[in-house]
Amino acid sequence: MLTTAQIMTTDVVTISSTATIQDAIELLVRRRISGLPVIGPTGQLVGIITEFALLAMAYDQDLQDDPIERHMTRDVITVDSSDSISRATDLFILHRVRRLPVVEGGRLVGLLSRHDILNALISERAPVCTA
């Protein structure tokens, strides 16, 4: 059985908890992504900020300079790098999230998307060519 570590993305775009709402919006737009794991001062995962949450703040000029830590989701659903992809799939379905941070000892080591799981399932079932 595949583990989350085998199919996760390891080159994860993150943002500091002290960065501003404006910084997060600019980073999401520039990198064409829909969410950012938020990293605390000692490198631990402390939250997540999503495109959806930022959209609600985009027009409020009074919030643009607020630090992300005031608006991020703190109760982040995560998976361990050794978890099976079936456990991750269950979490995607149950919580209807787009991404799951992959952690080891509270530190972010990767990011798993619904696409990653579907791709792994297709690859696992692909016929082997022997030509």
- Note whether residue 130 is domain-resident: no
CATH number where 111 lies: 3.10.580.10
- Note whether residue 65 is domain-resident: yes
**Residue 20 domain boundaries:** 4-125
Instruction: Say whether pLDDT at 87 is over 50.
Output: yes
- Into how many domains does the chain fold? 1
pTM as predicted? 0.85
Residue 62: per-residue pLDDT:
87
Pick from 1, 2, 4, 24: which is nearest to 14 by CA? 24
Residue 60: per-residue pLDDT:
85
- Note whether residue 42 is domain-resident: yes
- Note whether residue 89 is domain-resident: yes
Residue 127: per-residue pLDDT:
52
Query: What mean pLDDT, rounded, does the chain reach?
Result: 91
Query: DSSP secondary-structure letter at 127?
Result: P
- Note whether residue 85 is domain-resident: yes
- Note whether residue 131 is domain-resident: no
Contacts of 49 by beta carbon, 8 Å cutoff, 6+ apart: 15, 24, 35, 36, 38, 68, 71, 72, 73
Instruction: Say whether pLDDT at 131 is over 60.
Output: no
Q: What is the pLDDT of residues 49-83, one digit of tens each?
A: 999 999 988 888 889 899 999 999 999 999 999 99
Instruction: Say whether pLDDT at 126 is over 60.
Output: no
